[in-house]
């Protein structure tokens, strides 16, 4: 029958744009990032520090637009004249340290740069420096400590090498501060990818492996305490207490060694020290119940269930810190590379 009205139930529903590929973390942030920001000063600032929330808010806004074709697309076309297949992809959000996809891309590019352009074709070793819980809280609130401690670590290694070689040594290192552990808890520590040795004033390379780090850990304790005292972060009485502890809480681990030609291991380690704090593979979101289940490799039986706002806070701590702390190669790395190029030594491998 022509011209009959269409029943209301048969009318097509109005179309709405469905964002492509919304992941679990985007759902959590879309639902709860606003309340987290609103409650930050009253509930989280004392513990996490007075970070610039406007900066992380800008990153979160970009992250929430991830996968949205309305924000712009890139067009890809096969150059094979017999194929000419093409497709479109939305622009990345560039929400580094928050967006797992963008962070992974940046991590891969950083690892490639480190392996192919920065590190010499010589043995390197990973050092991990940790400090006691009594001092870790200062790293939440005083961002000067990132640079000061990185410089302290590099000077410590340089002096150990110079003492072992019996002559002043120029070495090189990449130091990365990580404020998080596997379970997203605040666990500040430093990763350092260090040349295993160094060069003298004539350009001669000295191979200087450090097997025992006990004395280095003690030097780290004394110099760190002196630094905190100099910055008026602790009292003289508390400093003496820290010096008297039988188990100091300071540790140095250098169990991972990298050969100069092991490109796969060098890139893997570079990716590890520059990785994002969160992996989507570990996250489950109970949206109706308002809980997030975060799985870790070491705590499969004790995976942490948190309210979504608390989970957002757990993420923001490492992300806020990471946004403020670049990886530091420092002038020593560049100076060492210039020295290698200007004063080549026939007895060492070519970089």
Beta strands in the chain (DSSP E): 73-77, 86-90, 124-130, 173-180, 186-195, 197-199, 205-207, 251-258, 283-286, 291-294, 304-307
What's the whole-number mean pLDDT along residues 314-325?
A: 51
| b (16+ CB within 10 A) / e for 174-186 | bbbbbbbeebbeb
* Residue 105 forms part of a structural domain: yes
Q: How many domains does the chain have?
A: 2
Whether 173 and 271 map to the same domain: the answer is: yes
Quick one: 212 and 267 in the same domain? yes
Instruction: Report the candidate in 265, 326, 330 with the shortest Cα–Cα distance to residue 125.
Output: 265
**Least confident stretch, 20-29, 75-84, 170-179:** 20-29
Which range of residues forms the domain containing residue 59?
A: 24-65+72-90
Shared-domain flag, residues 185 and 58 = no
Cα 16 from Cα 275, distance rounded (Å): 36
pLDDT value of residue 318: 54
In this predicted structure, which of 92-101, 148-157, 267-276, 298-307 has the lowest mean pLDDT? 298-307
In this prediction, residue 58 carries a pLDDT of 81
Whole-model pTM?
0.75
Cα(189)–Cα(253) distance, rounded to whole angstroms? 11
Whether the per-residue pLDDT at 275 is higher than 80: the answer is yes
Q: Is residue 298 part of a domain?
A: no
Over 50: is that where the pLDDT of 262 sits? yes
Is residue 162, in this structure, part of any structural domain at all?
Answer: yes
Q: State whether 49 and 160 are in the same domain.
A: no
State the average pLDDT for the chain. 79
Looking at the fold, whether 58 and 173 belong to one and the same domain comes out as no
Q: 43 and 177: one domain?
A: no
Does 232 lie in the same domain as 107? yes
Residue 348 above 70 pLDDT? no
**What band does 227 get if pLDDT is binned at 50, 70 and 90?**
very high
Which residues, including other chains, have CB under 8 Å from residue 348's CB and lie 6 or more apart?
Answer: 122, 204, 205
């Amino acid at each position: 029958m022509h011209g009959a009205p269409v029943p209301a139930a048969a009318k097509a529903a109005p179309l709405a744009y469905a964002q492509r590929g919304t992941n679990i973390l985007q759902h959590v942030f879309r639902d709860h990032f606003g309340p987290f920001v609103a409650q930050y000063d009253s509930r989280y600032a004392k513990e996490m520090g007075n970070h610039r929330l406007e900066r992380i808010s800008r990153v979160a806004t970009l992250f929430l637009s991830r996968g949205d074709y309305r924000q712009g697309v890139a067009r890809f076309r096969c150059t094979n004249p017999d194929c000419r297949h093409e497709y479109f992809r939305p622009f990345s959000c560039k929400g580094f340290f928050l967006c797992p996809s963008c962070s992974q891309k940046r991590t891969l590019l950083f690892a490639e740069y480190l392996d192919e352009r920065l590190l010499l074709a010589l043995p390197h070793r990973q050092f991990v420096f940790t400090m006691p819980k009594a001092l870790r809280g200062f790293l939440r609130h005083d961002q000067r400590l990132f640079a000061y401690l990185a410089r302290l670590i590099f000077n410590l290694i340089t002096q150990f090498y110079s003492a072992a070689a019996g002559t002043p040594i120029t070495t090189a290192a990449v130091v990365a501060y990580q404020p998080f552990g596997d379970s997203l808890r605040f666990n500040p520590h430093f990763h350092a990818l260090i040349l295993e040795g160094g060069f003298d004033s004539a350009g001669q390379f000295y191979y200087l492996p450090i097997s025992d780090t006990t004395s280095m850990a003690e030097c780290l304790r004394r110099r760190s305490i002196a630094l905190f005292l100099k910055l008026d972060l602790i009292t003289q009485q508390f400093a003496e207490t820290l010096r008297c502890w039988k188990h100091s809480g300071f540790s140095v681990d250098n169990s991972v060694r990298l050969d100069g030609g092991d490109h796969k291991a060098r890139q893997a380690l570079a990716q590890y020290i520059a990785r994002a704090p969160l992996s989507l593979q570990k996250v489950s979101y109970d949206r109706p119940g308002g809980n997030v289940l975060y799985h870790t490799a070491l705590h499969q039986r004790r995976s942490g269930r948190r309210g979504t706002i608390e989970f957002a806070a757990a993420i923001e701590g490492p992300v806020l810190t990471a946004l403020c702390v670049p990886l530091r190669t420092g002038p020593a790395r560049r100076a060492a590379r210039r020295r290698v190029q200007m004063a080549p030594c026939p007895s060492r491998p070519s970089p």
